[in-house]
Amino acid sequence: MNHTTTPYSFEFDNRFVSNPILLELFRNMLKSRMIEEKMLILLRQGKISKWFSGIGQEAISVGVTMALQPDEYILPMHRNLGVFTTRKIPLNRLFSQWQGKASGFTKGRDRSFHFGTQEYKIVGMISHLGPQLGVADGIALAHKLRKEAKVTAVFTGEGGTSEGDFHEALNIASVWDLPVLFCVENNGYGLSTPINEQFNCKNIADKGIGYGMEAHIIEGNNVLEVYTKVNEIAKSVRENPRPVLLEFKTFRMRGHEEASGTKYVPDELLNEWATKDPISNYSKFLNDEGILTKDIETYYKDSIQAEIDENLQISYAENSIVSDETNELNDVYYDAVNKLFKDSESKNNIRYIDAVSEGLKQSLEKHDNLIVMGQDIAEYGGVFKITEGFVEQFGKDRIRNTPICESGIVATAMGLSINKMKAVVEMQFSDFVSSGFNPIVNYLAKSYYRWEQNADVVIRLPCGGGVGAGPFHSQTNEAWFTKVPGLKVVYPAFPQDAKGLLIAAINDPNPVMFFEHKALYRNVYQDVSDNYFDIELGIASVIKEGKDVSIITYGMGVHWALEVLEAHKDISVELIDLRTLSPLDTKMIYSSVKKTGKALILQEDTLFGGISSDISALIMENCFEYLDAPVKRVASLETPIPFAKSLENQFLAKSRLEKELLNLLSY
Residues with catalytic annotation?
A: 473
Backbone angles phi, psi at 563, to 5 degrees: -65, -45
Can you tell me the distance from the alpha carbon of 352 to that of 521, in angstroms, rounded to the nearest whole number?
Answer: 5
Instruction: Work out the angle between the directed axes of helices 294-317 and 278-288 (0-180°, nearest 10).
Output: 140
Provide Rg for the chain, Cα atoms: 29
Q: In 3D, which of 359, 272, 300, 416 has the Cα closest to residue 31?
A: 300
Contacts of 273 (CB under 8 A, 6+ apart): 56, 221, 251, 253
Q: What percentage of the chain's residues is helix, strand, coil (to nearest 5)?
A: 45, 15, 40
- Name the phi and psi angles at 99, rounded to 5: -100, 0
Query: Contact 432/487 with Cβ under 8 angstroms?
Result: no
How many angstroms separate the CA atoms of 240 and 103, rounded? 40
Q: Is 392 exposed, middle or buried (0-12, 13-18, 19+ CB in 10 A)?
A: exposed
574's enclosing H/E stretch is strand 573-577
C-alpha closest to that of 478 among 462, 467, 494: 462
Compute the C-alpha angle 462/467/469, nearest 5°: 80
Q: What are phi and psi of 312, to 5 degrees?
A: -65, -40
For residue 399, which phi and psi values (nearest 5 degrees)?
-110, 95
Taking CA 348 as the corner, what is the angle to CA 344 and CA 350, rounded to the nearest 5 degrees? 125
Q: Of 519, 552, 553, which is closest to residue 641 (Cα–Cα)?
A: 519
- Which 8-state DSSP code applies to residue 40? H
SS3 385: coil
Per-residue exposure over 59-95, b if at least 16 CB sit within 10 Å of its own CB, e if not: bbbbbbbbbbeeebbbbbbbbbbbbbbbbebebbbbb
Please, how many CA atoms are within 13 Å of residue 152, restricted to the half-sphere of its CB?
Answer: 32
Helices and strands: H and E segment counts in the chain: 24, 23
Q: Which residues contact 654 (CB under 8 A, 6 or more apart)?
A: 560
| 358: Cα separation from own chain's centroid | 27
Considering only CA atoms, which of 318, 255, 256 is closest in space to residue 91? 318
| DSSP 8-state code for residue 107 | T
Q: What is each CA distance from 337 to 189, 360, 579, in whole angstroms?
A: 48, 21, 20
Question: At 664, which amino acid appears?
Answer: L
Q: How far is CA 241 from CA 141, 150, 163, 373, 603, in A?
A: 10, 9, 25, 20, 48
Peptide linkage before 7 cis (omega within 30 of 0): yes
In degrees and rounded to multiples of 5, residue 246 shows phi and psi of -115, 120
What kind and span of H or E run contains 576?
strand 573-577
How many other β-carbons are positioned within 10 Å of the β-carbon of residue 413? Answer: 34
Q: From CA 565, how far away is CA 350, in angstroms rounded?
A: 24
